[in-house]
Chains A and B, each alone.
Chain A
Amino acid sequence: MKRSVCSGCSLLCDDIMVKSDGIYIDEVFGACLKGKEKFDQVTSQNRILSPLIRKDDTLQKASWDEALQRTVDLIKKSKKPLIYGLSNSSCEAQLKGIELAKLINGFIDSNASICQGKVLDNAVNSGITLTTITEIINKADLILLWGSNAAESIPRLLNKVLFSRGKFRMTGREIKTLIIIDPVKTASFNTMGVRDVALRITPGKDIELIKVLKEECCAADSIPSEGVAGLDKDDMKRLLQHLSGAEYGVIFVGQGLLTPQKNSNLINELLELVQMINIKQERGRITLAMMGGHFNMNGFDHVALSMYGKRGNLHFKDNQILETDENIISKIENEDFDCSIFIGTDPISHFPMSLSSKLAKKPIILIDNRNSATLQLASIVLPTTITGIECSGLAYRLDHIPIELKKIINPPSKIPTDEEILNQIIQKLKSDGGN
């Protein structure tokens, strides 16, 4: 039995025990349901084990040589390739993805840009106070889930930060207050105790709440008597008391806060609120943590920043990085691409119909390990290993702590890793004279 890291979500738990002979995984202990499913993917019935090429409108098995050649041919023909995904890949693969984008003068981005990357983009304009899990374990007395259903998206998060005992929180759960702000009564509400605060906000009204809280920071008693955003005055008061009285508070920013509301920038307002509290607060601090879903959503940002000083949206021309205001959405929307390469992601399941239909008009190269809606539309499918089980690599946890994933077993059918596939494409392009 060996200790291993779970890549089921961005918590990257390193306390998973795996029984394996190096060929099969016999048992997995300690992982949550989501984590267990990740391990089950190794043998899932919908796993892709051979390269596929679309012929006569159906995907047919092909050899690696043929599939790679077709891939390279498509890329060579392309003048404006898009590369997207990589949030389920290791940093080593992300590095290769960027190298490929540079070589083929493409546009590359990861899933982070439509998710938690937005928080970092806003941090540039308003600053941010971040924290990490060990900090929360040892110090937090206030945990606020805002628009995030931790119990389902990062299943063991609350185990680790709420139900644990920390160095300065020896009484554990007793001394930690949980506040949830969400319009839907999610599974996370089930973890609440009597002293916790459940705030069922009116959908789309978070912005109003934040604005009032900001005002309240400057002038006490600015809460209207009828309450705000579906929350009554007393609840608002309790929320405020917790925010301004916590010794160490953490706000987990979830998906629910990532879409703009009423033409204002929700994240920006939230970041400003936290700054205001931290200047006014006399006891402790309020911090933020983000809840990216994919296990290495933060990795791409760090790799891209180190290599090119940009968090995402890397656009290459003449093998140089270009300043751009484009993002993956605008690129697809404006049909400013002629071929797309997706790595470990299923945009057809994530993106609205209006974008999917545009993607479908151009060849799609998919590098992934399982069936997906995108696969149904792909021209070429290159199967890959499951990172964190069949290959090792670096990943960044949701709080930006780097964690090494370990290889537990060999992949089936000698399937290459994301990194290897991307490298093979790069080498082939180079030896073919590039484009």
Chain B
Amino acid sequence: MEVIKTDFILNTVRRMENDQSKEFSFGDKKSLVEKLAIAFINPKDFDKLNLSSKPNLKISSNFGIIIVKGIADEDVPEGTVLMPISIWSNQITGVENSELRYKNMRVDVDITEEKINDLNSLINKIKEA
């Protein structure tokens, strides 16, 4: 099968509906994943990637890889991936010159059947790294 790989710009943001502190206060492990392990892309990119064929997005940057659910959102410009700031987006953000890099980063986006990481697996990954 043909692999479609596209260059994207990653932007991580805080959103009222997708807010980690809110989820940690009121949510549970399931809602955390639902609200935070997600990435928004433009519907055109959604189609281009043929995202409906496979459930998830694999986003990789210089700093790491994360698998999250892709959601079409026409407010996101083409070529941009928007993620809520959380332990999921942190897997692909990083540090350069002692400054955090969490906006306007180049990433590769791919569709995948791999499962979305849950909170425990990420915590374990942090512990074991």
Contacts and interface: CB of A to CB of B under 8 A. Distances in A.
A197 B14 CA distance: 23
Contact of A37 (B22, B98, B99, B103): B22
A330 B98 contact: yes
Contacts of A333: 95, 98
Nearest to A331: B98
Contacts, number: 143
B72 interface: no
B26 A348 contact: no
Contacts of A44: 25-26
B101 interface: yes
Interface in B71-87: 74-77, 79-80, 82, 85-87
A207 B5 CA distance: 28
A349 B90 contact: yes
Interface stretch (A123-131, A157-165, A208-216, A370-378): A370-378
Interface in A339-375: 346, 348-357, 360, 370-373
Interface stretch (B51-59, B108-116, B119-127): B119-127
Contacts of A349: 20-21, 24, 85-87, 90
A34 interface: yes
Chain B binding site: helix, strand, loop or mixed by DSSP? mixed
A329 interface: yes
Interface string B1-27: 000000001010111100011101111
A206 to B, nearest CB: 9
A154 to B, nearest CB: 11
B100 A352 contact: yes
Interface residues of A, number: 52
Nearest to A330: B98
A373 B20 contact: yes
B119 A373 contact: yes
A354 B87 contact: no
B24 A373 contact: yes
Nearest to B11: A203
B77 A203 contact: yes
B104 A46 contact: no
A51 interface: no
A56 B35 CA distance: 31
Given A184-B11, A351-B90, A352-B100, 15 more contacts: A40-B25, A44-B25, A46-B24, A152-B16, A183-B11, A183-B80, A203-B79, A204-B103, A346-B24, A348-B126, A350-B90, A352-B90, A370-B25, A373-B123, A377-B123
